[in-house]
């Protein structure tokens, strides 16, 4: 295989190539660095490219392989969403507040992937502090969708999704609080997975909404996602919300037949809010699953329409507290020549944060404030329980819930920035899984107006294995996940 073809390969294929000595990790990394060079100006998917460190890591991987030491991901290239702390490397979270923040430590996710031999090529662009669904709130400029450069790739993991869709890298880490892995995966025709809350450590992942945030990956295939999740998942004593539950071999679980799989369709999903062509593509995907032996049943999630308002009380509340540490005192942006303490705080934070972040901090502060806590935050947490109960009841009848990931394909940049509420409604299908702590995936299942459409799959707690299996079997029967945007072939 020539280096001109490296970008067409999946992680699994690259792993085989490295193992058989067809090419070296250094050659692979060099080729991908050239691709970043060639394409990222148009996409703006990267905030930092770690070329030198990547080449050194690739050399170490090659040396290790020659000695017979091979981690599961030895020499395989990945990129990290800029929300993950990376030691000695700029970690900005898409914000002016951390524009010059070089992290003194590695996130657990970064550590585990590096220990397995993965080579980091850089840090990807994202909505500021993970707040957004279009990658337009980033201080470093919007990311563009490789399928249509005038369109958003979705968010907040827009840079990760775009770089995978454009075949710049085979895989990228992301985070998902209300849909920030799954929605960009749907809008860019890639495969994204958000595992069960507590499955992957949050240590080193800059916190947005602590009870909702989860780390995951964006890849081109379910197989690749299974490979990476197996390395990332597992108990971490540095994260008290991390669950000590054995990690199955996700790759080994991919081959199971879908015969007898019970798939739930949520009646409320296919209503007037859903784009027609999107609905059609999703229904066809469901027929494919049926043809593979799955049975479709209608399920009812009666409180699902409360998920967006519930989320937009809980998440801002937690983020308003999580972002208090950005005060210009110990790290991050500090205003010049502060006159006194209040001035230091107000200007550092006023200058450091963008509009959407401020909007959510204000909202969050409000819903926690004296006199409002019971009516908003407490009430939202109670409704959250109802939503979780709806899912629990549904999963007594079905194994997987399927539907559209997003209500419409990628929208034009600038279309929704004037109306935050319309932007929030992008997450209408994905948010429920975060509120209930459930695993969710999005896989490509067709096109609408020549833009990708994603099929959304949700499982019960620790149902990642089933989701990956279903996705993989679907991908064996279809080729949507192999489609590549023009100009990136």
Partner 1 sequence: MSAAWEVVIGLEIHTQLATKSKIFSGASTAYGAEPNTQACLVDLGYPGVLPVLNGEVVRMACKFGLAVNATIAPRSIFARKNYFYPDLPKGYQISQYELPIVEHGELFITDDDGNDKRIGITRAHLEEDAGKSVHEVYDRYSGIDLNRAGTPLLEIVSEPDLRSAKEAVAYMRKIHTIVRYLGISDGNMQEGSFRCDANVSVRPRGEDAFGTRTEIKNLNSFRFVERAINFEVQRQIDVLEDGGAVVQETRLYDSARDETRPMRSKEEANDYRYFPDPDLLPVEISKEFIDGVRGTLPELPDEKRQRFVAEYGIRQDDAAILTVSRALADYFEEAAAAAEAPAQAVANWVIGDLSGALNREGLEIESSRIAAKDLAGLVDRIHDDTISGKIAKEVFEAMWAGEGDADAVIEARGLRQITDSSAIEAIVDKVIAANPGQAEEYRAGKEKLIGFFVGQVMKETGGKANPGQVNEILKTRLK
What is the three-class DSSP state of 434? helix
Q: Which of 138, 180, 307, 348 is catalytic?
A: 180
Shortest Cβ 321–partner 1 spacing (Å): 5
Question: Is 272 near partner 1 (CB under 8 A)?
Answer: no
CB 18 within 8 A of CB 65: yes
Binding mask 70-109 for partner 1 (x = CB under 8 A): --------------xx-----x-x----x--x-xxx-x--
Q: Which of 81, 123, 194, 416 is catalytic?
A: 81
Mark whether 156 is an active-site residue. yes
User: Packing angle between helix 276-291 and helix 464-477, nearest 10 degrees?
Assistant: 90
Mark whether 393 is an active-site residue. no
Residues sharing a CB contact under 8 Å with residue 146, sequence separation 6 or more, in sequence order: 43, 153, 162, 165, 166, 188, 485, 487, 488
Q: How far is residue 270's CA from residue 36's CA, in Å, rounded to a whole number?
A: 39
Question: Is 368 near partner 1 (CB under 8 A)?
Answer: yes
Segment (H or E) for 46: strand 46-49
Segment (H or E) for 120: strand 119-124
* Selected range binding partner 1 among 35-43, 137-145, 239-247, 453-461, rule: CB under 8 A: 239-247
CB 279 within 8 A of CB 404: yes
Shortest Cβ 432–partner 1 spacing (Å): 18
Question: Is 273 near partner 1 (CB under 8 A)?
Answer: no
Question: Is there a cis peptide before residue 156, judged by omega within 30 degrees of 0?
Answer: yes
Candidate list 80, 182, 202, 360; residue touching partner 1; CB under 8 A: 202
Residue whose token pair is 């519930």: 310
Sign of the four-CA dihedral 131, 42, 49, 201: positive
Q: How far is residue 472's CA from residue 456's CA, in Å, rounded to a whole number?
A: 14
Q: Looking at beta carbons only, is 341 or 355 nearer to partner 1?
A: 341
Q: Looking at beta carbons only, is 311 or 326 nearer to partner 1?
A: 326
Mark whether 358 is an active-site residue. no
Q: Which of 95, 133, 138, 156 is catalytic?
A: 156
Binding mask 37-76 for partner 1 (x = CB under 8 A): ----------------------------------------
Question: Is 385 near partner 1 (CB under 8 A)?
Answer: no
Question: Is 331 near partner 1 (CB under 8 A)?
Answer: yes
What is the three-class DSSP state of 148? strand
| C-alpha R_g of the chain | 21
Question: Is 392 near partner 1 (CB under 8 A)?
Answer: no
Q: How far is residue 442's CA from residue 293's CA, in Å, rounded to a whole number?
A: 20
Candidate list 121, 171, 200, 207; residue touching partner 1; CB under 8 A: 207
* Catalytic residue IDs: 81, 156, 180
Site residues for partner 1 per CB under 8 A: 84-85, 91, 93, 98, 101, 103-105, 107, 202-207, 209-211, 237-241, 317-318, 320-321, 323-327, 329-331, 341, 345, 365, 368-370, 373, 377
């Amino acid at each position: 295989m020539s280096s001109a073809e490296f970008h067409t390969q999946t992680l699994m294929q690259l792993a085989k190539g490295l193992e058989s000595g067809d090419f070296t990790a250094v050659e692979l990394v060099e080729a991908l660095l050239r691709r970043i060079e060639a394409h990222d100006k148009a996409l703006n998917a990267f905030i930092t490219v770690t070329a030198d460190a990547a080449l050194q890591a690739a050399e170490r991987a090659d040396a290790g392989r020659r000695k017979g030491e091979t981690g599961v991901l030895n020499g395989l290239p990945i990129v990290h969403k800029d929300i993950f702390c990376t030691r000695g490397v700029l970690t900005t979270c898409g914000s002016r507040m951390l524009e010059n923040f070089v992290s003194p430590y590695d996130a657990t996710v970064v550590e585990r992937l590096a220990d397995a031999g993965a080579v980091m090529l850089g840090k990807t662009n994202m909505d500021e502090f993970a707040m957004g669904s279009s990658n337009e709130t980033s201080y470093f400029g919007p990311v563009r969708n490789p399928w249509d450069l005038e369109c958003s790739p979705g968010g907040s993991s827009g840079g990760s999704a775009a770089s995978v869709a454009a075949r710049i890298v085979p895989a990228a880490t992301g985070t998902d609080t209300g849909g920030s892995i799954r929605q960009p995966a749907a809008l860019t025709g890639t495969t994204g997975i958000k595992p069960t809350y507590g499955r992957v450590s949050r240590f080193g992942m800059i916190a947005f909404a602590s009870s909702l945030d989860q780390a995951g990956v964006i890849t081109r295939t379910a197989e690749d996602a299974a490979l990476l999740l197996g390395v990332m998942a597992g108990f971490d004593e540095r994260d008290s919300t991390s669950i000590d539950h054995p990690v199955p071999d996700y790759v080994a679980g991919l081959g199971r037949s879908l015969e007898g799989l019970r798939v739930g369709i949520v009646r409320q999903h296919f209503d007037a809010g859903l784009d027609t062509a999107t609905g059609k593509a999703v229904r066809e995907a469901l027929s494919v699953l049926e043809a593979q032996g799955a049975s479709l049943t209608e399920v009812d999630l009666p409180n699902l329409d409360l998920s967006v308002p519930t989320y937009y009380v809980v998440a801002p509340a937690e983020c308003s507290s999580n972002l208090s540490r950005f005060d210009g005192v110990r790290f991050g942006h500090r205003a010049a020549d502060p006159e006194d303490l209040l001035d230091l705080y107000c200007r550092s934070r006023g200058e450091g944060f963008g509009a959407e972040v401020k909007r959510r901090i204000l909202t969050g502060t409000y819903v926690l404030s004296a006199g409002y806590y019971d009516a908003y935050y407490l009430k939202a947490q109670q409704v959250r329980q109802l939503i979780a109960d709806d899912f629990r009841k549904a999963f007594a009848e079905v194994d997987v819930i399927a539907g559209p990931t997003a209500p419409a394909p990628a929208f034009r940049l600038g279309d929704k920035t004037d109306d935050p509420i319309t932007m929030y409604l992008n997450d209408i299908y994905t948010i429920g899984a975060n509120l209930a702590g459930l695993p969710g995936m999005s896989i490509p299942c067709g096109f609408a107006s020549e833009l990708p459409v994603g099929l959304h799959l949700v499982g019960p707690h620790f149902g990642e294995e089933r989701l990956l299996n279903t996705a993989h079997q679907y991908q064996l029967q279809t080729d949507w996940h192999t489609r590549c945007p023009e100009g990136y072939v």
